[in-house]
Amino acid sequence: MRIVFALLVLVLTVGGSLGQASVITFGTENCLGTGCYGTSDPTAGATLQGLAPNVVTLASSSFPHSYPFSPGPGDFPGTDQIYVGSVQTGADDGYSGTSQRINGPDVMTLDYSSLIGSGQSLATLTLGIAADDFQFPVIGNPFIVKVNGSVDSALTTQLESLNESGPVVQFFTIGLNPSVDTGSHILTLSIDEGGNGGDGWAVDFLTVGVTTQGSAVPEPSTVWVLGAGFVLMALAAARVRAKIRG
């Protein structure tokens, strides 16, 4: 009877597993192809998952590097690319005058559906950005930052707070409201610039971290194996009891 009970507990545990925390990275952590990170972890000091909405954490180090640069084969779309505003009427930094620049917006589509198990829902959603050469405090061109088509004021404020004063990568994370999730678990991030559009910027890589809640539904094969084991163990226990009685 104890064996049967233990197996039943195992079935219930697999079928009702707790939520989990996980992170996925989009793009290559290579400092825009310049290799300026060396052996350092550019995300060190930042919290990659579990942040409440609008809470920000900064990595402990920033990384200056050379430029210009261009995306390499296989780079994640929207990363390792110098952008200026969708309308550029001036040039206020080195990026905005390079031939490698293109007009914004920089649109990055982040599919994190692999982090959400069947039967689970989002508890927290954390976005990480390796932001490069954002200089709003000095240059003053406002940024327009949207998440899934809507302006995100907290994320805009954070990008505008960066005073990188040249080609420098600074990684940070920010908690997003899980309600931005559309059900497809795809996050579309759009970054553009107003003013004269002449403050160039780039993104090296991004992360999405989630914590989930709810019960994960086990694979059918898992249920079948456990069910068969339950039946065999029950039969074995019944035979033992029959021999004892006989």
Reading the chain (246 residues) residue by residue, the pLDDT tens digits are 444 333 333 333 344 445 689 999 999 999 999 999 999 999 999 999 999 999 999 999 999 999 999 999 999 999 999 999 999 999 999 999 999 999 999 999 999 999 999 889 999 999 999 999 999 999 999 999 999 999 999 999 999 999 998 899 999 999 999 999 988 999 999 999 999 999 999 999 999 999 999 855 444 544 444 444 544 455 455 554 555 455
Q: What does the pLDDT look like over 114-123, one tens digit per residue?
A: 999 988 999 9
Domain ranges of the chain: 1-17+216-246, 20-214
Using alpha carbons, select from 105, 111, 134, 240 the residue that is nearest to residue 182.
Answer: 111
> Full-prediction pTM beyond 0.85?
no
* Cα 139 from chain centroid (whole Å): 29
Return the pLDDT at 201: 98
196, 89 contact by CB (below 8 A): yes
Give yes or no for a cis peptide into 137 (omega within 30° of 0).
Answer: no
As given in the structure block, the two tokens for residue 193 are 């610039």
Please tell me the distance from the alpha carbon of residue 180 to that of residue 61, in angstroms, as a whole number: 30
